[in-house]
Chains A and B, each alone.
Chain A
Amino acid sequence: ETGVTQSPTHLIKTRGQQVTLRCSSQSGHNTVSWYQQALGQGPQFIFQYYREEENGRGNFPPRFSGLQFPNYSSELNVNALELDDSALYLCASSLVTHFSTDTQYFGPGTRLTVL
């Protein structure tokens, strides 16, 4: 098991609401990436945070936003929830130096259901 943790484990929301998901990175890691995994599909990259700044973003609208804190933990915020936002949200932590590619280790995920 990795040292990456996420909370909450499960969450049920209704359309239009807002949600905040949390991720604690593995000790020694400085980068957190967020992915959305719909049922039966591979994870889709949402964005990455490095040194508290967004460092790359996938094809997700601005209502998906995030934060990274000085201890490298991170939050994913989704506003104006839609039914299609129902998915498993995964965070992955890694150690990035000089922007080199590095192994990403995933947390257990947060299962979000939007009704």
Chain B
Amino acid sequence: GENVEQHPSTLSVQEGDSAVIKCTYSDSASNYFPWYKQELGKRPQLIIDIRSNVGEKKDQRIAVTLNKTAKHFSLHITETQPEDSAVYFCAVNTGTASKLTFGTGTRLQVTL
């Protein structure tokens, strides 16, 4: 089955700095790559997603890049703010059942 690795597991940055989280996947047929933000005790919230026919997507301070050849994709957050502190999960869709395989998560802490 699909295997998704996510790094780093924890990331601490100062307010205003950039944060980058990377994920690799194993199934070359994977075609959809969402990123979710989960605050403590709350539901995962979709923050950005990218499909396999696109190499990069940006939404204000958040961007995702996809390298299909290398089978990895990354989340970039610029000008980080304290409210960006949360656990971030990458996910990969495998097959037609819209089954998402999640990474192990990155705990991002933005310090003042």
Contact = CB atoms under 8 A, between A and B. Distances in A.
Interface of A: 2, 31, 33, 35, 40-45, 48, 55-56, 58-59, 90, 92, 94, 96, 99-109
B44 interface: yes
B84 to A, nearest CB: 19
Closest 7 CB pairs of A and B: A56-B97, A42-B102, A101-B32, A99-B96, A106-B43, A108-B43, A45-B99
Contacts, number: 65
Contacts of A103: 34, 46, 49
17 contacts: A42-B89, A42-B104, A44-B102, A55-B97, A56-B95, A56-B97, A90-B43, A90-B44, A94-B98, A96-B98, A99-B96, A100-B96, A101-B98, A102-B98, A104-B100, A108-B42, A108-B43
B42 A101 contact: no
Given A42-B89, A55-B97, A90-B43, A101 B51 contact: yes
A77 to B, nearest CB: 20
Contacts of B44: 43, 90, 106
B89 A43 contact: yes
A56 B96 CA distance: 9
Contact of A109 (B43, B45, B101): B43
B99 A33 contact: yes
Nearest to B31: A101
A48 B98 contact: yes
Contacts of A59: 1
A99 B34 CA distance: 17
A56 B99 contact: yes
B26 to A, nearest CB: 15
Contacts of B32: 101
Contacts of B100: 33, 35, 43, 45, 92, 104
